Amino acid sequence: MDKIKEAADLILKSKKVFALTGAGISTDSGIPDFRSSTGYYSKMDPALALSKDRLLNHPEIFYKEGYKILEDLNDQEPNGGHKALAKLEKLGYLSGIITQNIDNLHAKAGSKNIYEVHGETRGTHCMKCGKEYPFAVMREKVEKGEIPPKCDECGGTIRPNVVMFGDMMPDDFERGARELDNTDTLIVVGSSLTVSPVNFLPNYVDHLIIINNDPTPMDRQADVVIHENSTIVLQEILKEIESRK
């Protein structure tokens, strides 16, 4: 496919390449994306289900709805797309990943330099004393009916390390944005590029590769646009790059 070769050409001639990933890269891992007709939010309002207000003021509802999404994400495994990006980083062609995803799959696939701009579901922390716990501890407490789950040290409320609606963006967002200041090419994978402030990040770079099933608002500005399955496309790009070594 010519577009695969074009993408590989651009990656190989760039001094610094980063990836920006959204929910679409994880659908082949069995995770429905967040905004399609079959996605997580087709049955609930995300601004409520995963909101800071509901977490703090209506925990009994949060742990029936929003928490179930986080629990599901915590149990999935990376697919060939995640692994292809990890291999590109290992080979020195990719400097890192900025991800909107909270599913931990880039880390599980072996990627090292990851900026999780919406948080992650590996851990939790006490909102009072800051003590950190693995997600499994929260799960155990919730299964025992401890809602909201409490800190063993100070009795404060334990919450997931996920950016809820109403939360401030984490340091990873600013750090990731700074990485793009001297990045030549950004590979956007599986993102609709409709969620702020992440959708502004492609404006930081000179060259764009967009891999997404559906059109995005940035398609016109991209050097290469591929509207196909991201797992297959990333594996093909990796294969093309490896064939030129």
Pull the structure tokens for residue 204. 């930081």
Q: Which of 179, 170, 225 is nearest to 201 (CA)?
A: 179
- Spot the catalytic one: 118, 125, 207, 227: 118
Pull the structure tokens for residue 51. 């909101």
Q: Is 118 a catalytic residue?
A: yes
177 assigned to a ligand binding site: no
Burial class (CB in 10 A: 0-12, 13-18, 19+), 226: buried
126 assigned to a ligand binding site: yes
Cα separations in angstroms, 82 against 25, 44, 118, 130, 132: 7, 28, 17, 31, 27
Residue 185 identity (one-letter amino acid)? T
164 assigned to a ligand binding site: no
Residue 200 identity (one-letter amino acid)? F
129 assigned to a ligand binding site: yes
Instruction: Quote the CA–CA distance of 83 and 28 in Å, as a whole number.
Output: 12
Instruction: Quote the CA–CA distance of 230 and 214 in Å, as a whole number.
Output: 11
Bridge partners of 27?
Answer: none
Cα separations in angstroms, 176 against 82, 171, 182: 18, 8, 11
Classified as helix, coil or strand, 204 is helix
Instruction: Quote the CA–CA distance of 158 and 138 in Å, as a whole number.
Output: 7
Q: Which of 124, 125, 126, 102 is nearest to 115 (CA)?
A: 102
Which residue ranges make up the annotated binding site for Zn(2+)? 126, 129, 151, 154
Which residue ranges make up the annotated binding site? 126, 129, 151, 154
Q: Active-site residue numbers? A: 118
